[in-house]
Every structure is written in C-alpha cells, then in structure tokens.
Amino acid sequence: MEKLSEEKFDRKKFLKVLGMGLSLVVLESLLKKVNAEEILSKPGTKKRYAMVIDLKKCIGCGACAIACKQENNVPIGYYRTWIKNNEKGAYPYVRDYYLPILCNHCEDAICNRNCPVSATYKTSEGLTLIDYDRCIGCRYCMVSCPYNVRFAHPYRRTVDKCTFCAHRLKKGLEPACVITCMAKARTFGDLNDKGSEIFKLISTNSVHVLKAEQNTKPHVFYIGLDQMLTEAGKTNFEYMKYYRRNVLKELSLSEKDAEGYFNILKGISNSDREYDYRLKSNT
Amino acid sequence: MEGIIYNAPHEIALGSKIAIYFFLTGVSAASFIISSLAYVFGMEKYKACGKLGAAVAFIVLSIAPLFLIVDLLQPLRFLHLFYMFNFKSPVTWGSILLTIYPINCLVYLYFIYTENKPMTKLFGSIGIPLAVAVHGYTGFILALAKGIALWNTPLMPIYFLISAMVSGTALLIVLSVLKERYFRNVEVINKIFPRIEVDIIYDLRKMLLIFIAIDIFILFSDVLLLFYSTPENYIVAQLLLKGPFSLMFLVGEMLFGMVIPFIIMTIPSLNKNLGVLTFASILVLIGIYFMRYVTVVAGQYVPLM
C-alpha cells in the first residue's frame, strides 16, 4: 500500500488515463449506435437463427415462394425465395429435384462487407438485414452476393431481399415460408438452443450449404442436396436479363390492369415498416 | 438430362453507366500520370502535352462521378456516402478518392499555370498515387464481388490500370492531333496549351504500343486461366468466346482495340502519318470502352444460383 501511495500520480499520467477513458466512452457510444438492432433479442439470450431445408421432403409446390410474396408484399416478377427445379435420369429411373433458395444470412456476409453506407447490417441473432432508409441503391451488394438473392425493389427504390421474416420473429412467430410448408421441409430455429428441432436435424443428418467454397458461412442448411442442382442452369444465360427490365411488358400487362389484378404490385406492406429496427430503436 | 426447368429471372445490376464511369476514370488517371512525366519526373519536352493531360484529367474526372450518381436507384441519397461510412467497402474508398483527387488536380493545374515549379512537383507527386488509386479502386470494386467468376481475380486491378493507360494515351494522341490540325492558329487555345511537337506525338505512340502489348499479355493470361480453374470460370470463358458477348469481346475489344491499332502503329510506312495514328487511337478508345462494357456486363451474365 505504501509503495502505491508513494507513486506519483502526475498530471501527464492523469491526462493519459482520462483521454483513454473518454475515447473508450466515445467509442462505446459509437459502437452502441451501430448495434442498436439488438432489440430483436431478449436481454441475456443470444440467438443464432438458421434454417434447415430437407430436400427429400420438398415436393416443389412453391407454396413457400407464394407465402413469402404475400407476407412481404414482393412485387411481380421478383422473389425473395424461389425454387429451382431440375430433373435427373431417364425413364423409368427419373426424378425431379427441387432446391428452394433464399438469403443465406451468411455469418461473413460479403454484402455486409461491401455496402458503402452500412445499410446492410448483421443483427446479433445472425440475421442480415437492410436499413431501407440508408440504402442508396448502388446495387453493389447485388453483384457481391454469391447467391443472387438480392433484387432492386422497383417501388421502394432500394435493394431488397429475404429477412427471415424478422417482423414475425419479433413477435415470436416463425417465417411465413416455414409455417406454410405442407411437407414440413423447412425448419427454422436457434442454433444455440441445444434442444431445438434444428439443432437435432443438423446434428443427426448430413447437411450441405450452398457454395461453401465462397467461405461466407451460410445459415441455410440443406439435407440431401444434389450436386447437379447447384450446377444446373448456370449455362442458361436467359435467366439473367438486362437491368431494370420491364416485368409488366414480359407478362404483357398494362400497369392499370396489373394494379387491378394484384394488390402486391405497388405499395409497401405493414411488415416493411417493422423492419427498420435500427431506426425505431434509436428514437 | 435436360437443363434447368424453372428458376427465377435475375437482373443485371450494373449496366453501361458504370462501364462509362470506369472508362472515364481510366482516361483521367492515365492523363494525369502522363502529365506527371513532365512536371514530376522532369522530362521537359513533354511539358506541352503535360498541360493538356492535366486539364483532361480534371475535366474528365469532374464528369465521371455524375454517371455514378445518376445510376443510383435514389440519386439524391448519394449524400449518404459522405456521412455514413463503411471503410471496408471499396465504394466508400471511391467516394473519398473522388472527392480528393479532383481537388488535387485543380491545385496541380493552378500551380502549372502560375509556373510554381516546386509546388507543381509536390502536388504532382501526391497526385500519382491518387490517380492510381482512383482508378485502381474500381478494379477492387469488381474483384471484391467474390461470387462473380470473371471479376474475382487479383489481375483485375492491374488489368484495369493498364487498360486505363492505353485509353488515356490514345485520347491524348487524338486531342493533340486535333489541336495541331484544326486549332493551330487559334490564339486563345495556343495561349492555354502550348504547341505540341510531332515528336511528342510519336513518343506517345511508342508508349501506347508498350501499354497495348502489356494489356494483351494480361488479357491473354486472364482468359487462359479462365479455362483451367473452376467450372464458373470455364462458363465465363465460353460466354466470352462463344456466347452472346463473343462479338463484343473478339471483334470490339480484341480486334478493334488491340490487334488492328497495334499492327497499324508498327508498320513503318504508316506510323508517321498523323491521320493514321488518330484513326488507330480512336479504334483503341472504342476497344477500351468495349472492354469496360464486356467486363462489367458479361461478368453478371452468368446466373449464380
């Protein structure tokens, strides 16, 4: 004790400590602003959301794609989740294979890294979300994503993609595609919860992720993924169309007709307003 | 076994405006570097075209970012780039560089015209790394989009830089010849830009030849290795050489942009003719534009999923 009191606590040292402390406080407040989206998780619990899709169960009905469009008001011609379909073999040994695709909510998301205004952000639950009030629409994330899951929303005029139905998760519900799947091929859950269904499925089945070589650590796992499906369609250049394509023209619809037929053409759903966790938590 | 039966169509996100932007930054960076030959490295005889180069560098780079802003889905939100940063993103690097570089160009121009030698040298030396960065970062924009096989190669920034040198030199040749041919006796222009001797244009031709040769070598190694790495790369190589981009790539980029100008400019009886040189340089410029367009659009043409 005596030795300590003898040690001079001079002004230089004091200022040094004070400066360090102040900068830490400033740094922390800065960091806090960025991580404000933690509103999703209850305090004290840390979740890591993920999805398992059992391709042996999937019958390719497309209900998940439709449920997603209804839930999230996705415009005509755009998809947050869709199904890739390919057949293999020859009669009598032939089978259809289906591959539902959605945002993989990668742990090391390259879209998150490349977004110039941090509009794409990772929540503490492992979701990759977009702050629609920040997004400037440079579409760099669209070309960065190795899974092509992002699209330019024609009416909101930002980039959009699957959110794992974050507005439903907040209320304790599962994503729309999961509850609608009649074959129960999709399972959603928390990877950190050792008792959850998804933990059981991943532990007791051989699972694959799409494009593991991209090193993005996806959070969508597939059971029974066939190599053929991941390769198919890459040489068919028809699926990539020139940018800002006119979907209505492709469907030969006038805008007025389309507005009459589909309420999903224009406007932004209620759920969209609930996405902006970051902004809501700041106010 | 049939091909894919059902899949969602995707958009090509980055289009011709981005290609034009890449083209313009390339021209600007290269003009700056050529102008620095006179004012930083002390090669006095290039002073005349050094002034022209510095002016081109500034003017072109003032126009270039407009293409980026118009290309945004919400153009007014470009302001977000200046107070919401993500320093990992090459686009943020770009928004910083595109602010600093034109200012540096302007200061450099000012000191050139006030004939302040040490300051010109200082801002010229600051400008060289900035010029390399302002175009090199566009190479990183493409290279860091790691899902796209054509872009995700370490060669991309180098390829972009060398094709920038090609296009910048070609533009300077065209402008010099135009000036000497049509504005030779216009007082105002002669006051701003001194006379450019024919020897200097011949020197620019030599530089252009060297740059085209390096460009051909880099393109060759890029395409060769596209064939022998991942399946995605193989598909891209097919797309370039046989697919919908083959005309633009083989004729536009390679034949017009590299082979014909290279041959024209090496034939001894033709390469002293200024008209032929201009023609070859214009071909080079068209070829480099095709190169930007093919790189940007063909890369996105392969469906990833």
**Phi-psi category of A73—alpha, beta or left, where left has phi over 0 and alpha has psi -120 to 50?**
left
Using the predicted structure, report yes or no on whether residue A102 has a pLDDT greater than 50. yes
- The answer to whether residues B298 and B150 touch, using CB atoms and an 8 Å cutoff, is yes
Q: Is B124 among the domain residues?
A: yes
Q: Is B10 among the domain residues?
A: no
Q: Which of A77-86, B94-103, B295-304 has the highest mean pLDDT?
A: B94-103
Using a CB-CB cut-off of 8 Å, the residues of chain B touching A158 are 73-74
pLDDT tens, residue by residue, B34-63: 999 888 888 888 888 888 999 999 999 999
Q: Which of A75-89, A244-258, B75-89 has the highest mean pLDDT?
A: B75-89
* Beta carbons within 10 angstroms of residue B129's beta carbon: 10
Placement of tokens 């017009």 in the chain: B256
- The answer to whether residues B65 and B126 touch, using CB atoms and an 8 Å cutoff, is no
Number of domains in chain B: 1
Using the predicted structure, report yes or no on whether residue A281 has a pLDDT greater than 50. no
Q: Is B7 among the domain residues?
A: no
Range of the domain at B271: 16-301
Q: Is B218 among the domain residues?
A: yes
* Beta carbons within 10 angstroms of residue A255's beta carbon: 10
Coil/strand/helix, residue B97: helix
- String of DSSP letters for A155-177: TT-SEE---SSHHHHHTTPPPHH
Average pLDDT of every residue of chain B? 90
Can you tell me the distance from the alpha carbon of B143 to that of A217, in angstroms, rounded to the nearest whole number?
A: 20
Range of lowest pLDDT (A226-230, A235-239, A258-262) = A258-262
User: Tell me, what CATH number does B165's domain have?
Assistant: 1.20.1630.10
Can you tell me the distance from the alpha carbon of B150 to that of B292, in angstroms, rounded to the nearest whole number?
A: 12
A25/B contact by beta carbon, under 8 A? no
Mean pLDDT of A212-222: 90
DSSP structure class, residue B297:
I
Q: Is B229 among the domain residues?
A: yes
Residue B208 Cα, gap to closest chain A Cα (Å): 33
The verdict on whether omega for the bond into residue B65 sits within 30 degrees of 0, i.e. cis, is: no
Q: Is B8 among the domain residues?
A: no
Using a CB-CB cut-off of 8 Å, the residues of chain A touching B7 are 82, 84-85, 233, 236, 239
Cα-Cα-Cα-Cα torsion B123, B125, B128, B134, nearest 10 degrees, comes to -50
Please work out, in degrees rounded to the nearest 5, the angle formed at the alpha carbon of residue A165 by the alpha carbons of A160 and A170: 125
Between positions 219 and 238 of A, the ones with CB within 8 A of B are 228, 231-238
| Amino acid A260: pLDDT | 62
Q: Is B4 among the domain residues?
A: no
How many residue pairs from chains A and B have C-beta atoms closer than 8 A? 189
Q: Is B11 among the domain residues?
A: no
